[in-house]
Structure 1
Amino acid sequence: MTKYTLIFSLLILFSCKNKPADKPNLAVENQISKKKTITFPSKDGLPITADIYNSKNTFISILLCHQAGYSKGEYIDTAVQLTKLGYSVMAIDQRSGNAVNNIKNRTKLAASKKGLGVTYLDAKQDIEAAIDYIYKQNEGRKILLVGSSYSASLALLIGVNNSKIKAVAAFSPGEYFKGIDINKSISTYKKPVFVTSSLNESESVKTLIDKIDSNFSTHFIPKVKGIHGSRALWKTTEGYETYWSSFNSFLTSVK
């Protein structure tokens, strides 16, 4: 081996040893590591399945509740976005639902197996149990309650008198419950309320909250068609950026 051949070989060996290895996608790994699936009992003992998305080891400050026929999968992207904004959140499966984004509603499956009711109002106790669970976990800090469609109305009903709730965000609430007048029931709100919906639902939503003191309510009306429920925050929804802008402004105001 000549002197020049030896030098060339050493250079190749040195460069191979110092070539950086392919780096993992830390953003993806961090998203996955932030999510943890748990169960805890509802008020009647039914196991509730929930996903917790942590941000910087902060306390859970937002509870996310899904719409009819869905599961906690409604929030798989929304929850991640909220962690990027600095919030730790929990999304639950209520017993009234089914599946979305290939995520089955385990609470519904457990309720059906036990022969328990799975109506909208049956799910109210699941949301209340989740509030109590978070309140205990975060050492008595009040939380923001987020609802979508029927759970938006439940969120408004629960939040009006629940001292553990500091504010409510309701995506497409309505008069969904027989024998309960939501408009009248929420008229005494003295805490911040954010409501929004699709454009064609905006008038009915406006009527629903017209008894709430305007000092406490924020009603975002999209300029585009929009969509029903918290899917308004999905990237597949036209104008989702405007929904997020208004929602984020509300979140900032109630920190």
Structure 2
Amino acid sequence: MRSLILIFFFALSLAAHAAETIKIKASDGVEVTVDLHISHPDTVPFIVLFHQAGWSRGEYQEIAPILNQLGFNCMAVDQRSGKAVNNVENQTFVSARQLMKETKYVNALPDMNAAITHAKTYLAKGDLIIWGSSYSSALVLKIAGDRADEINGVLAFSPGEYFQSMGKPKDYITSSAKSIQCPSFITSARGEQSSWWSIYEAIPTETKSYYLPESSGNHGSRALWSKFSDHRGYWDAVTTFLSQYL
């Protein structure tokens, strides 16, 4: 695991990092826009990054280059449930609306599965890790259980059972989490633990871990943004978890 001193040094140079933007087709024809942050051979571990509600792949502008410096290749994905963040518009949302598709949280699953399949097929010969934020952090836990033979790691930032209002059962995520086989990591703001603890308890492996900050913390992956004074604690926990893949 590399020193956090190096991580935050490189965070100061993010403006120089250029991502390649491509489009992938979801199973229902929606065009899924993704940013590829690839700095290494395709044999290194690969992380697929999913954003929180109302946002876009721009959530990972600062995070993905740091993950590159740690030794990972990454893909940041626009899901159809979201709009914009950090001046990055969600193009998958635009495509879904043009095709008159629903854009609720649960409707993002085809986009997420398409991105994972694309990464597995064309970009990642090594371990495949999935990472979610808020509603997508719940969905990556579901996917990690439903596609257990394909997923080598999962990180969830502020998950919960968010889908009852969309017609899903109250244990929609927990029921899939029971089938997770890979190492798993959950974190959130300090006051959010009750939203995900039952999901965490359902994960059957001994390779699961979680982190709660001493401070109030932040919701979703933005907890890692350098603008927040407690971001280093989150990074310490994340890099400790990810070190097992390097």
Q: Identify the structure with bigger relative contact order (alpha carbons < 8 Å, sequence gap 6+).
A: 2
- 1:39 matched to 2:23? The reply is yes
- 1:165 matched to 2:156? The reply is no
Q: Deviations over 1:94-138 (max 9, x none)?
A: 000000001100000111111111111110010000011011113
Tell me which of 225, 245, 249 is aligned to 2:236. Answer: 245
Q: Deviations over 1:149-208 (max 9, x none)?
A: 000010000111312211110000001012231223312322111000000002332233
Larger radius of gyration between Structure 1 and Structure 2? 1
- Over 3 Å counting, the alpha-carbon distance change for 1:84 and 1:140 in structure 2 is closer
Deviating 4+ runs (over 6 angstroms): none
Relative to the length of structure 1, the TM-score reads: 0.84
**CA RMSD between the two structures:** 1.7
Contact 2:182–2:205 under 8 Å retained in 1: no
Residue 43 of structure 1: how far off its partner (Å): 1.2
Q: Deviations over 1:181-237 (max 9, x none)?
A: 122331232211100000000233223311223512111111111110001111112
- 1:152 matched to 2:112? The reply is no
- Provide structure 1 residue ranges, at least 5 long, that are not aligned to the other structure: 1-26
Give 2:219's aligned amino acid.
H
Contact 1:70–1:100 under 8 Å retained in 2: yes
Q: Which residue of 1 aligns with 2:58?
A: 73
Contact 1:73–1:102 under 8 Å retained in 2: yes
Give 1:248's aligned amino acid.
T
Residue 139 of structure 1: how far off its partner (Å): 5.7
Contact 1:146–1:169 under 8 Å retained in 2: yes
- Provide structure 2 residue ranges, at least 5 long, that are not aligned to the other structure: 1-12
Residue 53 of structure 1: how far off its partner (Å): 0.7
Distance (whole Å) between structure 2 residues aligned to residue 150 and residue 69 of structure 1 = 10
Give the percent of matched residue pairs that are identical in Structure 1 and Structure 2: 36
- 1:56 matched to 2:40? The reply is yes
Q: Secondary structure at the match of 2:156?
A: strand
Distance (whole Å) between structure 2 residues aligned to residue 138 and residue 103 of structure 1 = 23
Distance (whole Å) between structure 2 residues aligned to residue 29 and residue 232 of structure 1 = 20
Give 2:20's aligned amino acid.
K
Contact 2:48–2:75 under 8 Å retained in 1: yes
Give 1:185's aligned amino acid.
S
Q: Which residue of 2 aligns with 1:103?
A: 88
Residue 28 of structure 1: how far off its partner (Å): 6.2
Distance (whole Å) between structure 2 residues aligned to residue 128 and residue 240 of structure 1 = 29
How many corresponding residue pairs?
A: 227
- Over 3 Å counting, the alpha-carbon distance change for 1:28 and 1:104 in structure 2 is closer
132-141 vs 233-242, which deviates more?
Answer: 132-141
101-110 vs 179-188, which deviates more?
Answer: 179-188
> How do 1:2-17 and structure 2 match up within 5 A?
none
Give 1:113's aligned amino acid.
Q
Contact 1:195–1:220 under 8 Å retained in 2: yes
Contact 2:14–2:62 under 8 Å retained in 1: no
- Over 3 Å counting, the alpha-carbon distance change for 1:230 and 1:214 in structure 2 is same
